[in-house]
Amino acid sequence: MSLLSVRDLTVKFAMRDDTVTALNQISFDLAKGERLGIVGESGAGKSITGFSLMNLISKPGFIDNGQILFDGEDVAQMSDKALRDMRGNRMAMIFQDPMVTLNPVLTIGQQMVETLRAHRKLSKAEAAQIAIVKLREVYIPSPEERMDQYPHELSGGMRQRIIIAMALLLDPQLIIADEPTTALDVTIQADIMELLLELCQSNKVGLILITHDLGVVSQMTERTLVMYAGRIIEAGKTREIINDPQHPYTQGLINALPQQTLPGQKLKQIPGTMPSLTAIPRGCPFSPRCQYAVENCRNTLPEVVQYAGIEVACHEVKRLHNDRLEQSA
Amino acid sequence: MNDLMLDQPILQLKGLEKRFDLDQGFLETVKLRKGKFVREQRSVHAVNNVTLDVARGEALCVVGESGCGKSTVARLVAGLLHPSAGEIHYDGERIDDRSRKSMLPLRKKMQMIFQNPYASLNPRMTIQQALEEPVRHHNPLLSRGEVREKVADVMQSVGVDPLWSGRYPHEFSGGQRQRIAIARALTVDPEFIIADEPISALDVSIQAQVLNLMLDAKEQRGLTYLFITHDLSVVEHFGTKVAVLYLGAVCELAETTTLFANPKHPYTKALLSAVPQLNDDKPNHIRLKGEIPTPINMPSGCPFHTRCPSANNRCMTEKPRPLRQPDGSTVACHAVEENRA
Ligand SMILES: Nc1ncnc2c1ncn2[C@@H]1O[C@H](COP(=O)(O)OP(=O)(O)OP(=O)(O)O)[C@@H](O)[C@H]1O
Ligand SMILES: Nc1ncnc2c1ncn2[C@@H]1O[C@H](COP(=O)(O)OP(=O)(O)OP(=O)(O)O)[C@@H](O)[C@H]1O
Ligand code: SF4
Ligand code: SF4
Ligand SMILES: [Mg+2]
Ligand SMILES: [Mg+2]
């Protein structure tokens, strides 16, 4: 059985004038210990997906339809107590900005001990011992001293490692990391990603990694979801999606990377921009920007189909794939 | 123009330094040293002895981790900050000691683009107004019709429909806004553009649009760029030359192709190895151990020695000097000098 099962999840926001759909019929599964990447451009619905899993959607947002099963339990039906238990103990979220999670007026030690004691029967001293072990696991130098420091006394990289330590505190089964390193430098980003990967692998922790960096997804995850305008438009094995993307939007994203073009040459840009939620086009949401769009694309929404081992929502996937095969032959 | 002028670098930084004094109460600055009270002002050593040239038509990229002084270098060159020491020469003339007023003629030649497209555009001005302002300011003799025409040309050139000129910045997407900010910088026909992380806040698909626009301007107008970024794949694509900064000092300066093919400084090597590759399952970067120093408590000797895998005793006491390498790059590292890196 999968650890997480999301079915037809639809999340809406009640705005002043009308209601917008931020997530539209999202379905996916995550096995125990599996690492999944979610990519897509700004506003595609990546963070809202993460928040929904934690049941953190609040007004004006609401879950309009669909189901989230975590370890067989329906998240929407959970009591407050069960929810609190799930959020701390079994599922943890790492945010882009560590200061969202860290309380600026408490020391690192106080925050970790408090979190531990809220969920487990432990003395302060016992909790502190566990906290120090966790800090050491994320390579925080002299963890005993760090326990007495305040968040602002630490560097950004160290803060993010402490956040990871806090996420691991209660040995969760799933970590949701929303752009955990965009605020950090490449060298520190690489350290933190490697650490996260190591910890997930050795403790069999599942990971949902939200990012716009395809390089990071490639190194960290086994499967990837590509989102566009609130929908999943492509899903499959990360390696296959990166090597041979089937959806024109995913192809566009990968081709637009500077690595895909010789230095100094014009980059292959995707024309236009993602539609705002108040003006999602009819038919395929990508059709105004898609160079392969045909009449049908502008009228009917493409359903998700299995193609070449990948799930993809594109009417023309077969024709386009055959064209590519012909071209390369 | 004679050859001598063509050969002359458009921009020269000579021993550039910038310190920011930290706000401290008087009592905090008083310290007991060897039995005596002395006043010590703590300061941020943001830029330390930076010397480099930018040739005409070149795109010099400045890279390095957060807080290493990239933006400070950009702001010094743009005249938004005054150096604590050292000199800045533009077109052979010293500009760092000029007053704001005498910088005005230069403002037209030198334009700055910021990371945040919101910061570059006034939210209360329509795009037409935002674009007209610099044109009028720098060409007071143009008629209204000519100004309009020029603005329409510029909008067209950055792929924004001139029909939208009556709209306000918030009515555009981030990518469109950043293209308009670039358009604004281009309206006065500058020769030098300082761009501080102009695409970092944008999505991959939009980054390509903006980068293409900047490449076009480079080719068609022969522009020179000082381009600040932390994205090395962008550097490899856009830059002709790269300066790697660490704690405010240049540790390696090289042609882009040379730097990527053969990085020499231990920090540059770590930086390049950290870039996540698309076709690589496993991260195999050089893991830097040790404490990350701050520009307030500068380490003695080589600024990188607290994290450097090749550091030895000499590195802890003696600051490495930038030395020219056989392939034309300049590297400040004892290990490279001693052939043990
Ligand atoms: N509180 C809110 N009220 C109204 N709309 C919202 C709210 N929060 C999010 N949205 C909308 O939901 C959509 C999805 O947002 P989400 O934060 O999931 O995007 P994202 O994919 O995480 O983007 P980014 O890469 O910028 O973080 C966006 O269009 C956003 O404008
Ligand atoms: N006005 C100021 N007063 C005091 N310190 C400053 C000031 N401006 C910058 N600094 C400090 O100078 C150092 C260099 O800052 P700078 O903004 O140039 O870094 P950067 O390389 O642009 O970093 P980032 O990649 O985060 O933009 C930092 O330690 C910063 O905190
Ligand atoms: S359905 Fe049509 S418009 Fe949409 S991605 Fe496929 S080809 Fe393009
Ligand atoms: S001078 Fe020494 S510490 Fe500095 S980079 Fe070279 S080897 Fe490392
Ligand atoms: Mg988000
Ligand atoms: Mg900066």
Give the DSSP letter of residue A76: G
The secondary element (H helix, E strand) that includes residue B210 is: helix B204-221
pLDDT digits (tens, 9 = 90+) for B3-21: 555 578 999 999 999 999 8
- The tens place of each residue's pLDDT in chain A, 329 residues long, gives 799 999 999 999 998 778 899 999 999 999 999 999 999 988 899 999 999 999 989 888 999 999 999 999 999 889 988 888 888 789 999 987 777 788 999 999 999 999 999 889 999 999 999 999 999 888 887 889 899 999 988 877 788 889 989 998 988 999 999 988 876 777 878 888 888 999 899 989 999 999 988 889 999 999 999 999 999 999 999 999 999 999 999 999 999 998 888 888 889 988 887 887 888 899 999 999 999 999 999 999 999 999 988 999 999 999 999 999 998 87
**Mind telling me how many Å the CA of B215 is from chain A's nearest CA?**
7
The secondary element (H helix, E strand) that includes residue B75 is: helix B70-77
Give me the interface pTM, i.e. the ipTM.
0.78
Contact B310 CB / ligand 4 (< 6 Å): yes
Is B80 a member of any domain? yes
The secondary element (H helix, E strand) that includes residue A35 is: strand A35-39
pLDDT digits (tens, 9 = 90+) for B218-237: 888 899 999 999 889 899 99
The token duo for A253 is 């994203």
Nearest to B207 by CA among A244, A268, A61, A26: A268
- Could you give phi then psi for residue A207, rounded to 5 degrees? -135, 130
Number of domains in chain B: 2
The secondary element (H helix, E strand) that includes residue B243 is: strand B241-246
pLDDT digits (tens, 9 = 90+) for B95-126: 998 887 888 788 889 998 887 766 678 888 89
Counting from 1 in the atom list of ligand 4, the atom nearest the Cα of B336 is 6
Is B24 a member of any domain? no
* B215–chain A Cβ distance below 8 A for any pair: yes
Inter-residue contact B135 to B151 (CB < 8 Å): yes
Is B207 a member of any domain? yes
Is B90 a member of any domain? no
**Residues forming beta bridges with residue B202, ordered by sequence position:** none
Ligand nearest to the CA of B64: 2
The three-state secondary structure class of B235 is helix
Inter-residue contact B123 to B169 (CB < 8 Å): yes
- Residue B175: pLDDT above 60? yes
Nearest by CB to residue B274, choosing from A190, A252, A263, is A190
Distance B111 CA to ligand 4 centre (A): 36
Question: Residues with Cβ within 6 A of ligand 3?
Answer: A 247-248, 284, 286-287, 290, 292-293, 297, 302, 314-316
The secondary element (H helix, E strand) that includes residue A46 is: helix A46-53
Confidence at residue B5, expressed as pLDDT on a 0 to 100 scale: 56
B310 shares a domain with B189: no
Task: For Cα atoms B279, A180, A190, give the angle at the middle one, nearest 5 degrees.
Answer: 45
Is B197 a member of any domain? yes
CATH (domain of B71): 3.40.50.300
Packed helices A124-137 and A156-168: angle between N→C axes, nearest 10 degrees: 120
**Residues forming beta bridges with residue A231, ordered by sequence position:** A228
**Cβ–Cβ below 8 Å for B174 and A184:** no
The token duo for B15 is 């021993």
Counting from 1 in the atom list of ligand 1, the atom nearest the Cα of A50 is 18
Inter-residue contact B198 to B113 (CB < 8 Å): yes
Confidence at residue B306, expressed as pLDDT on a 0 to 100 scale: 93
Concatenated DSSP letters for A279-325?
GPPSSSTTGGG-TT--HHHHHSPPPPEEETTEEE--TTHHHHHHHHH
Confidence at residue A158, expressed as pLDDT on a 0 to 100 scale: 84
Is B288 a member of any domain? yes
Question: Rounded to whole angstroms, what are the CA distances from B257 to A262, B94, B252?
Answer: 12, 31, 13
* Burial track B79-102 (b if 16+ CB lie within 10 A, e otherwise): bebebbebebbbbeeebbebeeee
The three-state secondary structure class of A69 is strand
Confidence at residue B282, expressed as pLDDT on a 0 to 100 scale: 59
B239 shares a domain with B139: yes
Confidence at residue A58, expressed as pLDDT on a 0 to 100 scale: 87
The dihedral built from the CA positions of residue B329, B332, B337 and B340, taken in this order, carries a sign that is negative
For an interface test with B, which of A139, A219, A220, A265 has the most B Cβ atoms less than 10 Å from its Cβ? A219
Q: Could you tell me the strand order of the sheet in which A206-210 lies?
A: A91-94, A174-178, A206-210, A35-39, A223-228, A231-237, A310-312, A305-307
Distance A175 CA to ligand 5 centre (A): 16
B268 shares a domain with B218: no
Q: How confident is the model at residue B1 (pLDDT cuts 50, 70, 90)?
A: very low
Residues 6+ positions from A138 with CB-CB distance below 8 Å: A161, A162, A164, A165, A168, A195, A199
Domain's final residue, options B226, B246, B266: B246
Is B38 a member of any domain? no
B221 shares a domain with B183: yes
* A179–chain B Cβ distance below 8 A for any pair: no
Nearest by CB to residue B278, choosing from A186, A242, A273, is A242
B264 shares a domain with B232: no
**Cα A221 to Cα B282: distance, rounded to the nearest angstrom:** 10
By alpha-carbon position, which residue is closest to atom 12 of ligand 2? B46
Q: Which residues of A touch B172 (CB under 8 A)?
A: none
* B222–chain A Cβ distance below 8 A for any pair: no
**Cα A159 to Cα B108: distance, rounded to the nearest angstrom:** 43
Give me Rg for the CA atoms of chain A: 21
Packed helices B266-273 and A186-203: angle between N→C axes, nearest 10 degrees: 50
Domain's final residue, options B195, B216, B246: B246
Nearest by CB to residue B230, choosing from A185, A242, A257, is A185
The three-state secondary structure class of B179 is helix
**Cβ–Cβ below 8 Å for A212 and B203:** yes
% of residues, chain B, pLDDT over 70: 92
By alpha-carbon position, which residue is closest to atom 17 of ligand 2? B71
Nearest by CB to residue B276, choosing from A216, A258, A268, is A216
B333 shares a domain with B257: yes
B169 shares a domain with B64: yes
Q: Which residues of B touch A213 (CB under 8 A)?
A: 276
B192 shares a domain with B112: yes
By residue range, what is the domain housing residue B287?
Answer: 253-341
B291 shares a domain with B217: no
The three-state secondary structure class of B216 is helix
Q: Tell me the pairing of strands A305-307 and A310-312.
A: antiparallel
Counting from 1 in the atom list of ligand 2, the atom nearest the Cα of B69 is 18
Contact A50 CB / ligand 1 (< 6 Å): no
Nearest CA in chain A to B285: A190
Domain's final residue, options B205, B223, B246: B246
B234 shares a domain with B121: yes
B221 shares a domain with B309: no
**Cα B112 to Cα B302: distance, rounded to the nearest angstrom:** 32
Is B13 a member of any domain? no
B260 shares a domain with B177: no
Give the DSSP letter of residue A260: G
Task: For Cα atoms B260, B264, B267, give the angle at the middle one, nearest 5 degrees.
Answer: 90
pTM for this model (two decimals): 0.86
Instruction: Look at A180-184, B69-73, B246-250, B285-289 and tell me which has the smallest mean pLDDT.
Output: A180-184
Counting from 1 in the atom list of ligand 2, the atom nearest the Cα of B22 is 4
Distance A254 CA to ligand 6 centre (A): 27
